Structure 1
């Protein structure tokens, strides 16, 4: 057993731990709620704060056979952990919440995340995983805690060569993962950042099977980097589906077919990385039904087997988001 009462192989959701076999059809990267704050000041689509609209979106997802969603908004920059807990209870959807940190630009300059030591940060992340998440910590140090616990450690880098603050945050996340057994998810903006993140965490002792590298499908001009990362043993998260400013879904499907042909089907996770502009209930473009209704049928048209679809949407997430043996 891990500290906090979770057995290895279980997944920590906001309503409690479940056996990984119960996760079901899972979107591996979404944003269900984001409070008004620094992210929304940078881009207004990063404000998702209407409870009923998000609930409606999740209910459509559930009606189509969806079972689970990973919410990738971490503490201190708009995470609404209390709403995640309540909407999970009302919709019967498993929600995995994030501790950790996002891009530094999403925080005010003197944010507590930037002032705390590496050890202090690591213990805080562990506390959110093992004892409960904090609310109201965007503009002040954490003080109010709820019972619901985080199930992943979100991290982010914005530079190909991260600075000292970013390294301290990454190291704290590595320490927290090693101590708790929960996986790390890392936001990246270039392939070079994806390689850096994977190599950095592995160097610090994190198992590749506890690493999820995000947004690797934003550019599709170099398949070799995808192959390199898959060879490291990390999970590759493809979440640019339906984001046509980057590329078409047909081009996304071509990438997935190539990865499957190379034998990396067990390394792939899919999501939509939703924003206000991408949720139908908020007047957006695609909605949480896009994978089920549009993209998975497109994969079938490209010859992708049902077993491969089950891996990407069910089997791989059940392993990727489960707690592993701590050090």
Structure 2
């Protein structure tokens, strides 16, 4: 399968084109501006004005980039991402890939060549009503999002991860993984890295702080994969109240360079929660007090730039 990777120096693929990783800036490494799921009727994230307001609030605090993990078929609104990035001057990274099968109607998944779909969305611009301009193709995805199950991988997960690995090898794109309630990270690494040959440092493991098993989290970080801790103020998950213990354990074990942080707003009901601004207004000062001034720059700037760069 032909690819279309960066073809030279590493680059982060944003919806406005490829970017020198050094220019990515302060980054929310896992969030959603738009999303819809048949499992969450009436809770769609589909309000462009609300998304712009969230981005502007994040930018006012120094935020410069947001990674939208919404994959194929779940209401990504790629043309709106392009317009929002231009309007707010916030770099936006979009996802291809697939979530768990339960999020889709069966006909959405039927007869799909997943690897080809992922490669196409990583390398070809979105269809737009207005020209993107001559500089770079707009609307391309910058990472591949896939999902595991609760404490394991079902047939759908194995199919999507196999396709993600093929697309990674064709393009160099990073792979981001949803872990159901934070579980199954070692199963994911066993499949993607051990069996399918994806280098661990090209894998981002999401939601691991929802299952506060410090030994498991250390093992995941020891593999060389990135560990994305996310979901501020999700009262029904083990996120905020375990976050600093998780960070302390991973820092003590020497894994500072493997850490990412994100907000992971997923429904309209959560839009009124602290959201993206919380990361910089509340969490960043606490990180400085607890761990020193260098950690926020590492987890919000340096690590995302490395994790998101196409190989």
Q: Same fold (TM over 0.5)?
A: yes
Matched, 1:296 2:296: no
Measure, in 2, the Cα distance between the counterparts of 1:161 and 1:34: 25
**Cα RMSD between the aligned structures?**
1.9
TM superposition shift of 1:78: 1.6
Measure, in 1, the Cα distance between the counterparts of 2:246 and 2:228: 12
TM superposition shift of 1:4: 5.3
Aligned to 1:217: 209
In terms of mean alpha carbon deviation, does 176-185 or 121-130 score higher?
Answer: 121-130
Aligned to 2:102: 105
* Unaligned runs of at least 5 residues, structure 1: 136-145
Measure, in 2, the Cα distance between the counterparts of 1:321 and 1:294: 25
Please give the residue correspondences for 1:226-241 in structure 2 after superposition, counting only pairs within 5 Å: 226-241=217-232
Checking the alignment, whether the CA contact within 8 Å between 1:253 and 1:298 is kept in structure 2 is no
Aligned to 1:38: 38
Of 222, 239, 251, 2:242 maps to 251
* 2:33 match: secondary structure: coil
TM (norm. structure 1) is 0.86
Aligned to 2:303: 316
Checking the alignment, whether the CA contact within 8 Å between 1:230 and 1:264 is kept in structure 2 is yes
After superposition, the C-alpha distances for 1:286-322 in whole angstroms (9 at most, x for unaligned) are 13110111112222232x1221211111000000000
After superposition, the C-alpha distances for 1:164-217 in whole angstroms (9 at most, x for unaligned) are 332121100110011100100010114541111112100201011100010000
Aligned to 1:139: none
Measure, in 1, the Cα distance between the counterparts of 2:174 and 2:88: 25
Of 169, 172, 175, 2:160 maps to 169
Aligned to 2:134: none
TM superposition shift of 1:133: 3.8
* 2:116 match: secondary structure: helix
In terms of mean alpha carbon deviation, does 243-252 or 270-279 score higher?
Answer: 243-252
Measure, in 1, the Cα distance between the counterparts of 2:33 and 2:81: 8
Across the two proteins, how many residue pairs are aligned to each other?
Answer: 299
After superposition, the C-alpha distances for 1:48-80 in whole angstroms (9 at most, x for unaligned) are 111111101100111110000000001112221
TM (norm. structure 2) is 0.91
TM superposition shift of 1:147: 4.1
Measure, in 2, the Cα distance between the counterparts of 1:182 and 1:134: 21
